[in-house]
Amino acid sequence: MKSLKEIEDVIAKAIKKVGARKENELCKYLPMNSGGYMHHFTLRKMKSKQPQELSTIIEKYIMQSERPSVIPPKQRAARGSRKRKDQLVFTRTQLERMLNIARLAGDKEIISVLSPKKSLTGCKRELIQSIRHNKVEPELWNAYAESASAISQEVSTDR
């Protein structure tokens, strides 16, 4: 088992050889079995828990190598790659057209599913305006009732 002093010496020599400023920069020269280079947390963990193994890796890939090379990073999944492929995504205009079709057909369930969920304050504001204009809009009242019940359910589950 190498002591902490010995591993520190090996790391210091390796830093000097590659021209790094800190020990985390050594990671890019140390390959991993899973592909890519060593993570700096792994380096720090190995330094305290597996100093012999870390020393061997540094010796092999940095000290014994004439010109240590930077390992390319591990390929990662592209952003948004976890999005579900089978889920339909509609543009705003497509959604509005479908909502109009549902209104013409009188399908209240589809209308409620496709209608954007409004906040309680937004529903109140629109309800007050519709009352001022002497308009009766049952869908608006339903949206208000839905928002109010959702909020009351949230409050009751928080207790």
Residues in contact with 3: Cβ distance below 8 Å, sequence separation at least 6, in sequence order: 51
Using the structure block, give the residue that is written with the tokens 């890939």. 61
- 159 and 123 within one domain: yes
7-16 pLDDT, tens digit each: 899 999 999 9
- 159 and 141 within one domain: yes
- 145 and 94 within one domain: no
- When pLDDT is cut at 50, 70 and 90, the band that residue 159 belongs to is low
pLDDT at 158 over 80: no
Does residue 129 lie in a domain region?
yes
User: Residue 44, by phi and psi: left (phi above 0), alpha (psi -120 to 50) or beta?
Assistant: alpha
20-51 pLDDT, tens digit each: 999 999 999 999 988 899 999 999 999 989 99
- 153 and 133 within one domain: yes
- When pLDDT is cut at 50, 70 and 90, the band that residue 82 belongs to is low
| Structural domain span for residue 24 | 4-63
Q: Is the pTM value of this prediction over 0.75?
A: no
Does residue 81 lie in a domain region?
no
